[in-house]
Chain A
């Protein structure tokens, strides 16, 4: 908090103690004032504004101009005298210092000026020649009107001189001395009851630290004071005598009076109230209102940005960029109830088309030749829209910026050297250096020649051709047959701020809408969904297992059938068997014997496995089971392949 603030506050509190409900003791003060007689009150009321005025004037004064202050004080004193003279009948209540505790505290305070240290710098200070017999010399003309009982300034001096021990002043009894004196400190009493000390105290104590001290034990205080002396930085002042000696000194407040606990408490409370008031003042400044949304479905979108610069445009003439805001076209929407419709706020004020200045490019040779055109052209668009919560439509129409990059040559001929498009983000967004690549239409050789000599190259009649052209109704946007070539790049800064209710947040995540999460009980839905997904996984695993079991069973049956065939008719053609054997050997380089008798004992194994698979698997044996299953997979796969080979007569089929 600034000292001026405190001064203002104090002045307010002193002058209008009853206006604000600050704290009980101030109210007491106001109560006490009612005890006075009415004329006294009136007089007080009369003097109040004047007091205020004085204080203001005092504050405006520059502390260095002593003469002015003096004259000011003179005025004030004369005013007071005149007042008392004009109302001689009014009984004045005489105050004694300390009789009115709060008021004394409030009124008589010591403000130190530590910032104006120009007074005591390293420069040589002019000494004041004096001796004990002469009157104290003053640099300013002495004020004759003031009575001696109202001193305004106190000087703390350093004396450099010598004492003549033998020569005593007869009046005072003090040894005579002669020498030079230097001003160390000036304490000036201001007419409003405050003191100004220059330079300030060396020890800068923190008032907040004072507040935290709850225990007012005097010893502790003393110890803390000593500690703080060691810890805190002392501010030392210095002066230089004419001899060239430099003296450094510090000023401390040495208070002989025992610390009055009541006073300390009051002071603390006062500081607290002042702090509170400062905080409340700051809060008032900050305020608490904000422009809210008109209803739940309302949404505001603010897009700020700037066109920073263009890169690599193949042109040495001045280039400018013209851009158009294209609002989404809702006419061709099949459903009329789309989620939102953008509206430009204060459309009458916003320029939909604007163009930057024509800027000459700067060619730099930093690693590679680059031409850069600076624009720094700010733009700002504000949209408002309404959300309909019950629709799951994706929002795919957003406002767009269409750019035309145009060059102007020395003859004033214009030529389009680039077209570009940028879709404004409608979600919260910030990006510096968004790159918008541009292209330019390519003409024939003849056109190019004409362009070179006469100017005016090929350009689009309608800028919206850069995007979906206006009035386009076909299902396919076909730009085939249109020749273009790449041009430079535009670099933008874009940022978007969105103001919308949080309930609509999910709805507004364009492209990431989850219909199941749109309801109010999103959490429950999500949990349900999770459960469903888990159940689904479980089911799928079960199905896999069953399918595998079925396959194994089928194989078993097939093998049985084969075995039965062989056993029954025994009339299998030897050629067939041979073919089978050759087929196996062709396909698999490593193969075990396919003697049928070998396979028979395996059947038992298979059936075992099937039984285990169908029965619920105990958890501990899962790994073993899996290993087994892998083994059986291998065998089964091989056999299955063999069998299939057999069926399709050796035709190779990849499974």
Chain B
């Protein structure tokens, strides 16, 4: 089987404008993907924002997968929690496709936050706390997303090293590198 190594870190978040931020991540993959080693989910520490609007997490990610198909390429599903001074939580969601080429990648993930009805929004303004997605699959699946109203919040940054193994053995081509070499012939 072909193998995929994902080594990197959850660098941090920008443009949230919130002080106490932490991220919860897990990896979604197809049913034919086998988890060999490494942690598939995690939660960062709560980080206070620096002066440059950057919350740093530097949370490590190191996973080893093996697969028999290309369908269901893994994704990092992110959930960002932000706490205000009274301990009330807000939630943001986002998803990142793991690159299909080997190399080093700086990835960004645009985070959105679900909005409820007008009443909910007023309640949120006065009492605090925000609506939350009931089923996380909406974050990485994309089905039935049109029913949702959301708000743009910020960006989460990931730094990933991706290693592929044995993919070329099964005629799976992910880069144009080979074809360039053929051109030189």
Interface residues of A (CB under 8 A from B): 282, 285-293, 300, 302, 304-306, 308-309, 318, 320, 351, 354-362, 364, 372-380, 382, 427-430, 432, 493, 495-502, 505-506, 509, 512, 517, 522-523, 526
Contact = CB atoms under 8 A, between A and B. Distances in A.
B152 A361 contact: yes
Contacts of B100: 304, 428, 430, 495-497
B30 to A, nearest CB: 10
A308 B97 contact: no
Q: For A288, A376, A430, which residue has the most chain B Cβ atoms within 10 angstroms?
A: A376
B112 interface: yes
Nearest to B149: A358
Contact of A430 (B99, B112, B146): B99
B149 A499 contact: no
Nearest to A355: B146
Interface of B: 1-3, 15, 34, 36, 66, 68-71, 73, 75, 93-95, 97, 99-101, 105, 107-112, 115, 139-143, 145-153, 169-176, 178-179, 182-183, 185
A359 B112 contact: yes
Contacts of A289: 1, 68
Contacts of B66: 285-287
13 contacts: A290-B169, A293-B171, A304-B73, A308-B110, A373-B152, A374-B152, A374-B153, A376-B93, A376-B95, A376-B110, A378-B141, A428-B173, A498-B174
Given A285-B34, A374-B112, A499 B68 contact: no
A498 B93 contact: no
Given A355-B145, A377-B145, 12 more contacts: A305-B97, A309-B110, A318-B149, A356-B145, A358-B146, A360-B150, A376-B112, A427-B179, A497-B70, A497-B100, A497-B174, A526-B185
B110 A375 contact: yes
A358 B176 contact: no
A495 B173 CA distance: 12
A430 B176 CA distance: 10
Contacts of B2: 290
B34 to A, nearest CB: 6
B15 A378 contact: no
Given A362-B152, A500-B173, A288 B179 contact: no
B106 to A, nearest CB: 8
Contacts of B173: 428, 497-500, 505
Contact of B1 (A290, A374, A496, A522): A290
A368 to B, nearest CB: 15
A292 B170 contact: yes
Contacts of A495: 97, 99-101
B63 to A, nearest CB: 14
Nearest to A498: B173
Nearest to A506: B182
Contact of A428 (B111, B143, B149, B175): B175
B172 A499 contact: yes
A316 to B, nearest CB: 12
Contacts of A432: 99, 105, 107-108
A351 B176 CA distance: 29
Nearest to B105: A432
A428 B101 CA distance: 9
Contacts of A526: 185
Contact of A306 (B70, B95, B153): B95
* Among all A-B residue pairs, the 3 with the closest Cβ atoms: A374-B110, A362-B152, A357-B148
B168 to A, nearest CB: 9
B177 to A, nearest CB: 9
Contacts of B185: 517, 522-523, 526
B140 to A, nearest CB: 6
A411 B81 CA distance: 31
B99 to A, nearest CB: 6
Nearest to A410: B118
A502 B171 contact: yes
A650 to B, nearest CB: 55
Given A495-B97, A523-B185, A526-B185, A362 B153 contact: yes
Contacts of A373: 152
B182 A505 contact: yes
Q: For B108, B142, B146, B147, which residue has the most chain A Cβ atoms within 10 angstroms?
A: B142
Contacts of A359: 112, 149-152
A376 B174 contact: no
Contact of B73 (A282, A286, A302, A505): A302
Contact of B70 (A300, A360, A377, A517): A300
A404 to B, nearest CB: 12
Contacts of B179: 427, 505-506, 509
Q: For A293, A355, A499, A506, which residue has the most chain B Cβ atoms within 10 angstroms?
A: A499
Contacts of A320: 146
Contacts of B3: 286
Contacts of B71: 302, 380, 382
A208 to B, nearest CB: 18
B81 to A, nearest CB: 17
A285 B35 CA distance: 9
A498 B152 contact: no
Nearest to A357: B148
Contacts of A497: 70, 73, 100, 172-174
Nearest to B37: A282
A543 B139 CA distance: 70
Given A379-B142, A427-B176, A291 B110 contact: no
B86 to A, nearest CB: 24
A308 B111 CA distance: 9
A297 B15 CA distance: 49
Contact of B115 (A288, A360, A512): A360
B113 to A, nearest CB: 9
Contacts of A318: 149
Contacts of A305: 97
Contacts of B108: 308, 432
A306 B97 contact: yes
A290 B68 contact: yes
Contacts of A288: 1
B1 A286 contact: yes
A534 B142 CA distance: 58
Given A358-B148, A502-B171, A509-B179, A282 B142 contact: no
B154 to A, nearest CB: 8
A374 B111 contact: yes
B151 A378 contact: no
Nearest to B15: A364
Nearest to B114: A357
Nearest to B164: A497
Nearest to B167: A497
Q: For A286, A382, A505, which residue has the most chain B Cβ atoms within 10 angstroms?
A: A286
A282 B36 CA distance: 8
A285 B95 CA distance: 28
B70 A499 contact: yes
Nearest to B66: A286
B145 A357 contact: yes
Contacts of A379: 142
B21 to A, nearest CB: 16
Contact of B97 (A351, A360, A493, A499): A493
Contacts of B115: 360
A303 to B, nearest CB: 10
Contact of B68 (A287, A372, A502): A287
